[in-house]
C-alpha cells in the first residue's frame, strides 16, 4: 500500500506553508504570510487559500487527500484540535481543527509544530534510522522534542520536550516564561537581541541595529545575525558564543539523562549558520557529558529538511494518527 496523500501545513507566526505530501516527498506547495494581527478569521482564510492553491497546483481535488494535518506554535489540545495558547499568534483557545474542517470540508488533525518537525526529521531527515533522538530548535524561542525507543515521547500531560526551559544558570537572566536562568533566556534570538541591546546601552558599539534597519526588520532575525557576523560585529559574536555555550550545557545534560544516538539542531538560526553554529555547541557538550564508552559516536547534526520538516512531519503525524484510529 503506498503512503497516503496528505496536506501538511506549518502555521508559523510569520508564514503559513502548505504542501501536498506523500511519505517524505513534497509534491506541491504554497506559502503565504500569516498576518496574525488581522485576527483569527483572517488567518483561517489565509490557511484555506494556501491549501486550495496547493491542491489546484496538483490538478487534484480535496477528496484525493486522506487528511490535512497542521502544526501550530504553542500549547495544543491534540484530541480536540484546539490551540490552547499560542502567544506568537495572540491566540487563546482557538478551535483550529473545527474552523478549518468547516472551511475546507476535509478531516483536519492539529498538533504542535515542534513535535511535528521532530517527527519529520526522525522519519525522513537527520534522525532517520535512529531509536533515540533529541531535537533542539533555535528560533524566537527554544523548542524541542524527543523520540525515545523509536516513539515520540509526549509525557504525562503531553507537554514533554520543553528543553528551552532547562535552567542552565541558577538565578540567571529572566526568561520570557517569567522564571530565571532558562537556556531560552540566553540562546534564543529574542535573548540575543536583548543581550546586545543591554551591552550597547552600557556604551559598547555594535552595528546590529543598523543592519536590522537596513534590512527593514523589526527584530533580530537569522539573516540579521548572519550579516552582523559577516560584518565582524563583536557584540553579535559574543552573543552567539554565549548562546552556543549554554546550548552546549543543555545538550550535555540531555545526553547524560537520555543517552540519545543523535541530537538534531534546527530552526532559523541553525538553517542560516549550519554546522559552524553546531561545532562549538558540540565542544562544550563533550566537555560536560560523561565520557563513557561510545560517547564519541553520539552525533550532533543540523536538521536536514529545513522548512520542509513542517509539512513532511505533518504527513508523518497524520499517518500515525489515521492508523491508530483504525
The contact set with a copy of itself (CB under 8 A) reads 75, 84, 130-132, 144, 146, 148-149, 151, 153-163, 165-170, 177, 179, 245-246, 249, 252-254, 256-261, 287-290, 292-295, 298
Tell how many helices (H) and how many strands (E) occur in the chain.
Answer: 11, 13
Q: Which of 75, 106 has the CB closer to a copy of itself?
A: 75
Q: What is the distance of C-alpha 215 from the center of its chain?
A: 23
Backbone angles phi, psi at 107, to 5 degrees: -65, 135
Q: Which of 139, 145 has the CB closer to a copy of itself?
A: 145
CB 285, min distance to a copy of itself, A: 10
- Report the alpha-carbon distance of residue 72 to residue 81 in Å, rounded: 10
Q: Which of 16, 298 has the CB closer to a copy of itself?
A: 298
Q: What is the distance of C-alpha 5 from the center of its chain?
A: 23
- Report the alpha-carbon distance of residue 108 to residue 182 in Å, rounded: 34
Q: Which of 157, 202 has the CB closer to a copy of itself?
A: 157
Q: Which of 266, 318, 285 lies closest to 126, judged by CA?
A: 266
H/E segment holding residue 150: none
CB 261, min distance to a copy of itself, A: 4
Q: Which of 153, 197 has the CB closer to a copy of itself?
A: 153
Residues 121/264, Cβ–Cβ less than 8 Å: yes
CB 181, min distance to a copy of itself, A: 8
Q: Is the dihedral of CA 159, 162, 168, 173 positive or negative?
A: negative
CB 141, min distance to a copy of itself, A: 12
Cell, residue 85? 495558547
CB 30, min distance to a copy of itself, A: 34
- Report the alpha-carbon distance of residue 127 to residue 301 in Å, rounded: 9
Q: Which of 47, 116 has the CB closer to a copy of itself?
A: 116
CB 239, min distance to a copy of itself, A: 17
Q: Is 144 exposed, middle or buried (0-12, 13-18, 19+ CB in 10 A)?
A: buried
CB 301, min distance to a copy of itself, A: 15
Cell, residue 108? 483536519
CB 228, min distance to a copy of itself, A: 25
Residues 153/281, Cβ–Cβ less than 8 Å: no
Q: Which of 234, 257 has the CB closer to a copy of itself?
A: 257
CB 264, min distance to a copy of itself, A: 14
Residues 16/10, Cβ–Cβ less than 8 Å: yes
Largest CA distance in the chain: 65
Q: Which of 275, 287 has the CB closer to a copy of itself?
A: 287
Q: Which of 125, 311 has the CB closer to a copy of itself?
A: 125
- Report the alpha-carbon distance of residue 314 to residue 201 in Å, rounded: 43
Amino acid at each position: 500500500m503506498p503512503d497516503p496523500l496528505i496536506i501538511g501545513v506549518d502555521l508559523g507566526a510569520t508564514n503559513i506553508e502548505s504542501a501536498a505530501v506523500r511519505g517524505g516527498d513534497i509534491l506541491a506547495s504554497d506559502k503565504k504570510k500569516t498576518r496574525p494581527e488581522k485576527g483569527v478569521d483572517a488567518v483561517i482564510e489565509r490557511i484555506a487559500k494556501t491549501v486550495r492553491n496547493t491542491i489546484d497546483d496538483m490538478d487534484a481535488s480535496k477528496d484525493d487527500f486522506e487528511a490535512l494535518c497542521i502544526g501550530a506554535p504553542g500549547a495544543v489540545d491534540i484530541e480536540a484540535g484546539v490551540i490552547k495558547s499560542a502567544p506568537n499568534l495572540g491566540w487563546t483557545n482557538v478551535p483550529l481543527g473545527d474552523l478549518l474542517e468547516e472551511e475546507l470540508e476535509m478531516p483536519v488533525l492539529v498538533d504542535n509544530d515542534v513535535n511535528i518537525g521532530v517527527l519529520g526529521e526522525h522519519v525522513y531527515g537527520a534522525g532517520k534510522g535512529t531509536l533515540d533522538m533529541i531535537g533542539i530548535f533555535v528560533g524566537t524561542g527554544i523548542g524541542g522534542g524527543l523520540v525515545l525507543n523509536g516513539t515520540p515521547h509526549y509525557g504525562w500531560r503531553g507537554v514533554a520536550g520543553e528543553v528551552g526551559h532547562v535552567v542552565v544558570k541558577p538565578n540567571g537572566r529572566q526568561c520570557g516564561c517569567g522564571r530565571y536562568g532558562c537556556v531560552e533566556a540566553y540562546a534564543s534570538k529574542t535573548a540575543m537581541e536583548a543581550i546586545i541591546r543591554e551591552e550597547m546601552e552600557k556604551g559598547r558599539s555594535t552595528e546590529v541595529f543598523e543592519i536590522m534597519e537596513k534590512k527593514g526588520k523589526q527584530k533580530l532575525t537569522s539573516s540579521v545575525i548572519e550579516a552582523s557576523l559577516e560584518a565582524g560585529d563583536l557584540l553579535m559574536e559574543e552573543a552567539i558564543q554565549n548562546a552556543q555555550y549554554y546550548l552546549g550545557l543543555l545538550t550535555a545534560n540531555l545526553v547524560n539523562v537520555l543517552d540519545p544516538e543523535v541530537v538534531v539542531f534546527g530552526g532559523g538560526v541553525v538553517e542560516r549558520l549550519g554546522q559552524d553554529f553546531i561545532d562549538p555547541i558540540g565542544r562544550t557538550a563533550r566537555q560536560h557529558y560523561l565520557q563513557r564508552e561510545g560517547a564519541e559516536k553520539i552525533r550532533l547534526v543540523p536538521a536536514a529538511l529545513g522548512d520542509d520538516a513542517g509539512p513532511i512531519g505533518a504527513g508523518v503525524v497524520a499517518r500515525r494518527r489515521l492508523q491508530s484510529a483504525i
